[in-house]
Amino acid sequence: MKRLRQIRNFMAVGSMVFVLFWSLPGFGNTLDSEKYSRVIWNYLETLCAFGPRNPGSEGYRETLDLIRKMGEKYADQVVEQPFSVRTSMSTSVDMVNLELRFEGTQGGAPILIGAHFDTRPFADEDPDPANWSEPILGANDGGSGTAILLGLAQYLNQHPVARPVHLVFFDGEDFGAKDSGLKLLGSTYYAEQLVKEEREKWPYWVLVIDMVGDKDLEIFKEFYSLKGSASFLDRIYRVAEDQGIQSLNEKMKYTIYDDHYPFHRMGIPSTVLIDFDYPYWHTLQDTLDKCSIKSMFSIFSVVVKTIEDL
Ligand SMILES: [Zn+2]
């Protein structure tokens, strides 16, 4: 009994030391929370200042330029994957996935971390029908995931992890009208190209981040993620618990066709982290004031710690 208590005390001290080291700025390879909170938030502010970022818009072009520029600055390699989507008999839209590759220190199959950078061209869930044809700003839906990936690029440049990491900014996730079938366009195209490659080149794990900026953040386990990547989800939840992050709920809720789905279909363990209980989803109210630095950073730090140990 006494021995048990000793072990328990030792473990409690151990985790306190861990938390302390984790939060100390500039301590070895640990996360400078103040710096990276600011970095991520700045990216989100910049993206929102570009305005709506649906394909063809000015904001879309500015977003591509920003990702390319940060890729050149921080990544080992920037890969562009252009493709074209037929939207009717006579029209098509040019799109592009951008991939920032980090080699890692040990090699092996890469971890693919993805987010869609496009925003929805029309606010078709807006309470006011007059807004249904207006493009959304997508601070949370499109912005939050993109900002976190850009923050990861900056972080991985300074703190490489063992495995290669491929940060993929997917185009055309939110492009089409309901029932048009024109969704997940970038990730579907990416997966179609991957099928042609040898299996050794396939990702070890696919993690998609979408709508994680909500002030009132609560992320449930998503159906396909649980079905195809249970052990990775467990790992994420364990890290979150270690870090005292409360926004990850153990329960399963929602079946979501997000950018992880084309990879799940290929049999690759694929996870989406998404807070789908967001009242401003696909409305003109999906703006910066609905997001928080704290939510954004909590997901960033969970992702960083999770991929460090893979
Ligand atoms: Zn959306």
pLDDT along the chain (310 residues), means of 10: 51 51 46 95 98 98 98 98 93 97 96 98 97 98 98 97 98 92 96 96 97 97 98 97 95 96 98 97 98 97 94
pLDDT score recorded for residue 179: 85
DSSP conformation class of 129: G
Contact between 94 and 61 under an 8 Å Cβ cutoff? The reply is no
CA of 4 to the centre of ligand 1 (A): 50
Query: Which residues are 99's β-sheet partners?
Result: 79, 168
CA of 155 to the centre of ligand 1 (A): 26
CA of 50 to the centre of ligand 1 (A): 18
pLDDT score recorded for residue 303: 98
- CA–CA separation, 10 vs 7, rounded Å? 5
Contact between 113 and 204 under an 8 Å Cβ cutoff? The reply is no
pLDDT score recorded for residue 181: 86
pLDDT score recorded for residue 309: 79
DSSP conformation class of 25: T
CA of 180 to the centre of ligand 1 (A): 14
CA of 174 to the centre of ligand 1 (A): 5
CA of 134 to the centre of ligand 1 (A): 14
Which class for 25: exposed (0-12), middle (13-18), buried (19 or more C-beta within 10 A)?
A: exposed
Contact between 162 and 105 under an 8 Å Cβ cutoff? The reply is yes
CA of 163 to the centre of ligand 1 (A): 30
- CA–CA separation, 149 vs 98, rounded Å? 11
Helix spans in the chain (H): 2-23, 33-49, 58-74, 145-158, 185-195, 223-242, 261-265, 293-308
CA of 119 to the centre of ligand 1 (A): 7
- CA–CA separation, 54 vs 259, rounded Å? 16
pLDDT score recorded for residue 164: 98
CA of 133 to the centre of ligand 1 (A): 15
* pLDDT, mean over the chain: 92
Domain 31-308 in this protein, CATH class: alpha beta
CA of 284 to the centre of ligand 1 (A): 12
CA of 38 to the centre of ligand 1 (A): 25
Handedness of CA 186, 276, 67, 123 (dihedral sign): positive
Q: Would you list the domain boundaries of the chain?
A: 31-308
CA of 118 to the centre of ligand 1 (A): 9
DSSP conformation class of 139: I
pLDDT score recorded for residue 178: 87
Q: Which residue carries 């300074």 as its tokens? A: 158
CA of 175 to the centre of ligand 1 (A): 9
| Residue list, CB under 5 A from ion ligand 1 | 141, 174
Model-level pTM greater than 0.95? no
Show the tokens assigned to 293. Answer: 């630095």
